[in-house]
């Protein structure tokens, strides 16, 4: 009998312990469930089908929600733009020396198909970085359609690899006596067309650099950057026409670049050089007279090829050029961008370029 009492007491204690443990388990479970009910609710909502979720959301959307969502979207776009870094000094897609040939014909349709990234007017800016400079390419032009095709064919890919924010402007000299003409027969005035290109380009965009290029010169190395430097830059320093040598130290012809500040410092280019020759030397004198020097790439990187051609009609050597060059310092203050006059005849926006036909007047 005493053994039975002992066994019963032991059984009673065991049962009591089990009851206590069960109570504790239930209590912990309830507490855990209550604390995580919000998370479970969110989880259940995330498992709903898109249709169910859309229906529930539509019931809760308010005008304020829409406003906040739009504001959030704009903020996200702005933050993405801010994350773009400035393009590097040495863009990663440059290839160096290039093979430049003029034996195979080139069509504008071919060039357009190869440059689908361009915006109307021959505009481009890199997508993955912010260009260091905004560059206007200014080409003085008349009756050089075949040359222009090669220039566009070679230069657009080069300028894009150089990661420039650029636009191409063809400044076409029309016959001053006929406002409807697109290919004039008046005496050619290269420097004045360059001034016009500067003025017209700034009407469209806040360019800070200007590259002035003859249409028949093609660079043979894409490391020859078509941009501006701390000093005016001569880019076509090693032309096949001159045996890949600089013809003389003061030579500043072919292709050059000046920043907006440098251009205004010399009052732009002269407007009174009619016919061939002299304006490049006048520009060199302007640069030197303002205490600036000409910078150049080395003779290897600065190589370029010229498309062979006969001299244009109405572009005979300027007989007054030597006298004008001798008086640059006296005339540059009143002959330049501050005295520029012209009339725009027509503006054409092509995918590859902006062509501006102008009446430049007569000598």
Residue ranges per structural domain of the chain: 108-359
| Catalytic member of 163, 200, 221, 280 | 280
| Residues 336 and 270: beta-carbon distance below 8 Å | yes
Q: How confident is the model at residue 314 (pLDDT cuts 50, 70, 90)?
A: low
Tokens representing 147 are 């040359």
| Catalytic member of 214, 222, 282, 359 | 214
| Catalytic member of 112, 208, 276, 292 | 276
**Residue 162, Cβ neighbours under 10 Å: how many?**
23
What pLDDT shows up at residue 321? 78
Per-residue pLDDT tens over the stretch 140-194? 999 999 999 999 999 999 999 999 999 999 999 997 554 444 444 689 999 999 9
Q: How confident is the model at residue 363 (pLDDT cuts 50, 70, 90)?
A: confident
What pLDDT shows up at residue 24? 67
Asked whether the CA dihedral 110, 111, 113, 114 is positive or negative, the reply is positive
**Residue 133, Cβ neighbours under 10 Å: how many?**
20
Per-residue pLDDT tens over the stretch 47-61? 333 343 333 334 444
| Catalytic member of 185, 204, 292, 306 | 306
Q: How confident is the model at residue 327 (pLDDT cuts 50, 70, 90)?
A: confident
Q: In whole angstroms, what is the distance from residue 135 CA to residue 202 CA?
A: 10
Q: How confident is the model at residue 262 (pLDDT cuts 50, 70, 90)?
A: very high
Decide if 142 is catalytic: no
Tokens representing 157 are 């890919």
Q: In whole angstroms, what is the distance from residue 342 CA to residue 363 CA?
A: 13
Per-residue pLDDT tens over the stretch 94-118? 999 999 999 999 999 999 999 999 9
What superfamily in CATH does domain 108-359 come from? Spore Coat Polysaccharide Biosynthesis Protein SpsA; Chain A (3.90.550.10)
Question: Residue range 80-106: average pLDDT?
Answer: 91
Q: At residue 293, does pLDDT exceed 60?
A: yes
E-only strand ranges, 193-242: 209-213, 217-219, 233-234, 238-239
Question: Residue range 243-271: average pLDDT?
Answer: 96
| Catalytic member of 279, 282, 335, 359 | 279
Decide if 216 is catalytic: yes
Cα 304 to its chain centre, rounded Å, is 22
Decide if 309 is catalytic: yes
Q: In whole angstroms, what is the distance from residue 259 CA to residue 344 CA?
A: 24
Q: At 242, is the secondary structure helix, strand, or coil?
A: helix
Q: How are the residues of the chain apportioned to helix, strand and coil, as percentages rounded to the nearest 5? A: 40, 15, 40
Higher pLDDT, 77 or 220: 220
Q: In whole angstroms, what is the distance from residue 32 CA to residue 363 CA?
A: 95
| CB-count exposure of residue 334 (10 Å: 0-12, 13-18, 19+) | exposed
Decide if 145 is catalytic: no
Tokens representing 143 are 């009756």
Least confident among 23-32, 216-225, 319-328:
23-32
What pLDDT shows up at residue 246? 94
Decide if 298 is catalytic: no
Higher pLDDT, 78 or 361: 361
Report the chain's mean pLDDT, rounded to a whole number: 83
Per-residue pLDDT tens over the stretch 206-225? 999 999 999 999 999 999 99
Decide if 310 is catalytic: no
Q: Is 121 left (phi over 0), alpha (psi -120 to 50) or beta?
A: left
Tokens representing 238 are 């090693």
Question: pTM of the predicted model, to two decimals?
Answer: 0.76
């Amino acid at each position: 009998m005493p053994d039975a009492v002992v066994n019963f007491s032991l059984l009673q204690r065991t049962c009591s312990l089990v009851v206590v443990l069960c109570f504790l388990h239930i209590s912990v479970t309830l507490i855990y469930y209550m604390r995580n009910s919000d998370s479970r609710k969110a989880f259940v909502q995330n498992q709903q089908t898109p249709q169910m979720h859309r229906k529930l959301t539509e019931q809760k959307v308010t005008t304020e929600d829409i406003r906040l969502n739009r504001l959030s979207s704009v903020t996200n776009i702005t933050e993405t733009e801010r994350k773009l870094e400035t393009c590097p000094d040495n863009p990663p897609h440059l290839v160096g020396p290039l093979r430049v040939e003029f034996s195979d014909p080139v069509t504008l349709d071919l060039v357009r198909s190869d440059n689908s990234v361009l915006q109307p007017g021959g505009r481009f800016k890199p997508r993955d970085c912010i260009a260091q400079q905004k560059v206007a390419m200014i080409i003085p032009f008349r009756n050089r359609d075949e040359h222009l095709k090669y220039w566009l064919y070679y230069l657009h890919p080069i300028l894009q690899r150089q990661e420039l924010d650029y636009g191409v402007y063809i400044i076409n000299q029309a016959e001053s006596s006929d406002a409807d003409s697109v290919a004039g027969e008046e005496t050619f005035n290269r420097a004045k067309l360059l001034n016009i290109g500067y003025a017209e380009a700034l009407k469209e965009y806040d360019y800070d650099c200007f590259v002035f290029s003859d249409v028949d010169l093609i660079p043979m190395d894409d490391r020859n950057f078509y941009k501006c430097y701390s000093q005016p830059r001569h880019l076509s320093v090693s032309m096949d026409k001159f045996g890949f040598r600089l013809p003389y130290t003061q030579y500043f012809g072919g292709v050059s670049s000046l920043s907006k500040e440098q251009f205004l410092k010399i009052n732009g280019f002269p407007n009174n050089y009619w016919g061939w020759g002299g304006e490049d030397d006048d520009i060199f004198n302007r640069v030197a007279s303002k205490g600036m020097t000409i910078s150049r790439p080395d003779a290897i990187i600065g190589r370029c090829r010229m498309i062979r051609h006969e001299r244009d009609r109405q572009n005979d050597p300027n007989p007054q050029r030597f006298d004008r060059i001798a008086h640059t310092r006296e005339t540059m203050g009143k002959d330049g961008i501050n005295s520029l006059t012209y009339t725009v005849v027509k503006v054409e926006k092509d995918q590859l370029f902006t062509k501006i036909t102008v009446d430049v007047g007569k000598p």
